Structure 1
Amino acid sequence: MFESISLAEYYQIFLDIINNQLLVLTNLIEIIIFILMGAAAYFLSKFLYKNLDSLLEKIKSINFLKRKRILDQLLFPLLLIILIAFYHILAVTFNLPNVIISIFGNLVTAWLVVKVIALFFPRNRMFRFLSALIWVIAALRILGIYQATINFLDSLAFQSGKLRISLLLISKTVIIFSILFWLAGKLSRLVTARIDNSENLTPSVKVLLTKITKILFFISAALFTLSSVGIDLSAFAFLGGAIGVGLGFGLQKIVSNFISGVIILADKSIKPGDVVEIAGVYGWVKKLDTRFVSIVTRSGKEYLIPNEYFITKEVINWSYSDELVRVDAQVGVAYNSDLRQVQKLIMQAVEDKTRILDNPEPACLLTDFGDSAVNFELRFWINDPRNGIKNIRSEVLFSIWDNFKENQIEIPFPQRDYHLKSLPAQLKDKITLSSNSNSNSTAED
């Protein structure tokens, strides 16, 4: 249950600080001293600017714009902090007033930290969160109630077995996890960029390393957060067992796709840019994900096919070892055709096609003598399956059709002759009557 707390005592501490520390006449002297220190820091920053700029110029990783931002934003507050620290040493040594200077010191320190965060990180939600946190801590230290606030938040707690959960613990967990989670995202993107720019790694290995890096960073952030706030990780053993049971039942498909994705990346059977055909889908691999493979067809449709399909089903990878692909086209001609001329006309159909390679050379083979036609097979090679296979085959067949039409080559279709040896008597009578009626109508016409 919640522990006993005293709000009245907490409020009295706040009033005592206002009356006994802030509303004192000697504070006016400290304000004047702080103004003088601010002026001194300003003139020192102007005097040291060029020398420090020359010093930073020697660091090749810092360009001109970054040097200017560093000096413009950090030099003045940094010098002011140094002067305040020097005065603090003198105040302790010679027993000088130090209340107001300490307050300004906390404010300038918070200001400097916010400037550093703004210098290296963009002004997003995390920047605003950290800035607000820093100013709150500075305000509590100025009022001298920082430790009292910590004790107050820690007193709002409840006990669950051996685990004590307080508002302070929850606040620390949220703050640390937010910072580490954001930092893990930044680091993972930085490492991913380095991996993507590496020329010594294949696309499959790049994707595998990228996903492993992201998982390790975010898991490490979560575990480090729990450890830093003093939570015993062994308390989550039961949760791990429950997750294991869930994986065995409700999440088995997700786990199957994840493991299949790791296998695909490890054996390099599928990689971004490959031209594949699976389950009636023909296209090029755009992206490999932990759950699916993104395939874009020539019509612009993007299919998200589960990873396990590429492990358990038949997959045609047109560019697995290389992008050299043989395309076959079957053609049948009538038996009364000049077969040598047919072969020549078929070969002429591939001569003006820029996508068809000269090496390996195209070939036209007579494959068999069919029931209704003499069958040929044209074989030719392309090295750009991403641009389509059916379209080049269609283009070649159109050329063959035009060549045959110009040279009166017939492409036959199946024909059958039916001979009826015997008919039932009733069917014969119907046929006779039908033929008689047709002859009568013809005579009348």
Structure 2
Amino acid sequence: MPLQQLLADLLGDIPKPAILWQALAIVVCVAAGWGLGRLIHRSWLENHQHTGLIGLGMGSFGRVLSPLLMVAFLLVTRAAMADHRSVHLLDVAVPLASSLAVIRTFFYLLRRVFARRGQLGEALQTFEKIFALIVWLGVALHITGVLPDVLSFFESKYLPIGKYKLKLSDMVEGIVSIVVLLMLALWAGAALEERLMRVDRMHSSLKVVLARMSRAVLILVAVLFSLSLAGLDLTVLSVFGGALGVGLGLGMQRIASNYVSGFIILLERSLTIGDPVTIDKYSGRVVRINTRYTVLRGADGTQTLLPNEMLITGVVQNQSTFNRNVRATTRLIVSYDSDLAIVMPLLEAQPRGVARVLEAPAPNVLLNAFGADGYELEVGFWLADPENGQGGPISDVNQKIYALVQAGTIKLGYPSMDTRLLDAHIASVVARTPSQA
């Protein structure tokens, strides 16, 4: 068998100096390929501009230049040593190094085109490690000659599923095709989304809905195509479709409602990313609209995940639809001894000059009521950036009013009680009480 022959050849080379020469040659080839690749890549980047098609191509090719040089050096060394020494160890090293070079080249190009950053790039790196392990395992089986036996084993075994029997090789082929096609669908979806987000003339909501729908369609097509490649009859999915419909009708109503509401929001463009909104007791800026929920960032930096159903069935205050200006107010009670002809213009001037307060519409002061303790006044002013909160300007205006109170310019009203009736009652009681001699 090839495995026994390979082991016998390697064991036969161990007592001989040939095994040491081969090991030394492998170490030298690996070091030379890695060092020369790094040197060429660094020299090109230092002496050439990183623009243009040639610069982009060299920048990409430099990443995989080292493993390719390792393979080239190993091939030249094996050819040079074949006439004089045994090269069994090099026969093992060459295909392993070649598979490494192929994997590095293939996955780097995919990552460069589709997933250069983000969560998809991390998922691609994980998939690269798994795929590299599978390829290396296949190369090892091929070198040892065990690969035909493994393939025949998978071809001869069947997995019983109800009254059907599924060949084990078909199941493995289906799993592999599903994984590969799903990854390709995700990469294509990410590339399409990136291109859509660069289109300036398209509305942001339309970009998002097109990206979501295209990714869902690509995943669905990839799954159906991979199942058909595996030889699975797609009519069996009708049972799954019926079960899914029953599940949506019984236990997934709210989830389905949120997904449908998300597409309605994106298509209607009633909300867009960046809008300052108020929904129920939540206020903030819309930072992301997903198909199931919407992310709202408050003025204090906290993020709230709101189900899309709330945005469809509830009342939404969108400050950016027509007019972004929002009126902020602060209230105070001044003494009845105050002259409103002087106090009201004085209070009206306090918001002027405060950061974020608009000059037009101008601040104003309203006399809301005649309270038990004094005049109830409301100082109102307008803000153009409600997404940043109202607490800062209100605090600044209150501090300026406080300075007027401390200076005695404005007198605040204090709780008071008219005690004249009580005093008269006490006097009458004292008059009727006989004096104690």
2:338·2:411 contact (CA, 8 Å) conserved in 1? yes
Indicate the SS of the match to 1:59: helix
- Give CA-to-partner distance per residue, 1:376-411, whole Å, 9 cap, x none: 654432111122125434543554465467335565
Distance 1:18 1:67 in 2: 36
**Aligned ranges 1:326-365 → 2 under 5 Å:** 326-329=327-330, 337-364=338-365
Q: CA deviation at 1:312?
A: 0.9
Q: Mind listing any 5+ residue stretches in structure 2 that lack a counterpart?
A: 79-87, 112-121
| CA 73–249 in structure 1, closer or farther in 2 if over 3 Å, else same | same
Distance 1:171 1:257 in 2: 36
**Aligned ranges 1:101-112 → 2 under 5 Å:** 110-112=99-101
The one-letter code matched in structure 2 to 1:255 is A
- Give CA-to-partner distance per residue, 1:326-348, whole Å, 9 cap, x none: 33556665666533323311222
| CA 212–440 in structure 1, closer or farther in 2 if over 3 Å, else same | farther
Among candidates 56, 60, 68, match of residue 61 of structure 1:
56
**Aligned ranges 1:159-170 → 2 under 5 Å:** 159-160=160-161, 163-170=164-171
- Give CA-to-partner distance per residue, 1:152-211, whole Å, 9 cap, x none: 213221344674323222322332233333333444334444444444444433433343
| CA 408–182 in structure 1, closer or farther in 2 if over 3 Å, else same | closer
Distance 2:181 2:165 in 1: 23
User: Which protein shows a greater Rg?
Assistant: 1
Residue number in structure 1 paired with 2:409: 407
Indicate the SS of the match to 1:290: coil
Tell me if 1:114 matches 2:116: no
Q: CA deviation at 1:238?
A: 0.9
| CA 162–102 in structure 1, closer or farther in 2 if over 3 Å, else same | farther
2:174·2:230 contact (CA, 8 Å) conserved in 1? yes
Distance 2:240 2:89 in 1: 52
Residue number in structure 2 paired with 1:7: none
Tell me if 1:260 matches 2:254: no
Q: Mind listing any 5+ residue stretches in structure 1 that lack a counterpart?
A: 1-15, 85-98, 420-431
The one-letter code matched in structure 1 to 2:251 is G
Distance 1:134 1:348 in 2: 76
1:78·1:112 contact (CA, 8 Å) conserved in 2? no
| CA 356–235 in structure 1, closer or farther in 2 if over 3 Å, else same | same
1:81·1:109 contact (CA, 8 Å) conserved in 2? no
Residue number in structure 2 paired with 1:156: 157
TM-score norm. by structure 1 comes to: 0.68
Q: CA deviation at 1:80?
A: 8.0
C-alpha root-mean-square deviation of aligned residues, in Å? 5.0
The one-letter code matched in structure 2 to 1:74 is L
2:328·2:394 contact (CA, 8 Å) conserved in 1? yes
- Give CA-to-partner distance per residue, 1:410-434, whole Å, 9 cap, x none: 6587989999xxxxxxxxxxxx9x9
1:277·1:315 contact (CA, 8 Å) conserved in 2? yes
**Aligned ranges 1:18-417 → 2 under 5 Å:** 59-64=54-59, 66-74=60-68, 77=71, 110-117=99-106, 119-120=108-109, 124-160=125-161, 163-329=164-330, 337-364=338-365, 378-397=379-398, 399-400=400-401, 402-403=403-404, 406-408=408-410, 411=413
Number of residue-to-residue matches in the alignment: 392
| CA 327–108 in structure 1, closer or farther in 2 if over 3 Å, else same | closer
Residue number in structure 1 paired with 2:81: none
| CA 383–228 in structure 1, closer or farther in 2 if over 3 Å, else same | same
Q: CA deviation at 1:275?
A: 2.0
Percent sequence identity over aligned pairs: 26
Distance 1:128 1:355 in 2: 53
Indicate the SS of the match to 2:274: coil
TM-score norm. by structure 2 comes to: 0.69
Indicate the SS of the match to 2:57: coil
Larger displacement relative to structure 2 (336-345 or 368-377): 368-377
The one-letter code matched in structure 2 to 1:296 is R
Q: CA deviation at 1:106?
A: 5.8
The one-letter code matched in structure 1 to 2:65 is L
Indicate the SS of the match to 1:62: helix
Distance 1:183 1:411 in 2: 72
The one-letter code matched in structure 1 to 2:68 is L
